[in-house]
Structure 1
């Protein structure tokens, strides 16, 4: 007997350890993310991040110092990259790298949060 069970992954959540959860969450709140300070969740348009305070803050090592200037922790595909970039710029985002067109015919930029975690955003050109 064959059972056909269909499944669907609905969204993705990344968990990051931080030394000061409130400071990191305040940054994302400023950029327009919904924040649940009690649970440590931030979310915007299906991109969810979960922040936990580390018991050993000295053990937190973001990717960029280890793997180079453009190393990222997360990369999200978006629609309307130019508008998102302008919005984040107007809200005081700190950019890991500014809006550019890469060799893959994609427009992209990346932000960096107070803990040093980086999120890239990209959109393929037509």
Structure 2
């Protein structure tokens, strides 16, 4: 049974990436994330709002593109999915699916990273 005195506050994602510099630049330039750590750590922290993504340099690992449908790593709820889509479209983000209203009550779109990680951004349909 879960301990009711324990509260989970937020989450961070950890992604292995083959080229840390390329991935960090993409998160900063195309997705609007801030980078927090020095370049020489072998890791980079990308954050935007309450989303934190730790990118770890892993040049010999299996690429996300090689794992097919299992390369989704996050679903992010936002307050204005269409405005975020337009921002990403104009900044050169890799858009896999434009915003669509889904039967489960969300309007959402899909973005990929240069490495093949996929993430979805969604907003509840009023």
What TM-score do you get using the length of structure 2 for normalisation? 0.83
Q: 1:22·1:37 contact (CA, 8 Å) conserved in 2?
A: no
Higher gyration radius (CA)? 1
Give how far 1:5 is off: 7.5
Give how far 1:35 is off: 0.8
Number of aligned residue pairs: give it. 119
- SS of structure 1 residue aligned to 2:72: coil
Give how far 1:37 is off: 4.3
- SS of structure 2 residue aligned to 1:76: strand
1:86 is aligned to 2:86: yes
1:60 is aligned to 2:59: no
Q: CA RMSD in A?
A: 2.2
Q: Mapping of 1:37-48 within 5 angstroms? A: 37-38=37-38, 39-48=43-52
Give how far 1:56 is off: 1.9
- SS of structure 1 residue aligned to 2:26: helix
Which runs of at least 4 in structure 1 moved beyond 4 Å after TM superposition?
Answer: none
Give unmatched runs, 5+ long, in structure 2. none
Q: Distance in 2 between matches of 1:22 and 1:42?
A: 12
Farther-moved stretch of structure 1 (97-106 vs 20-29): 97-106
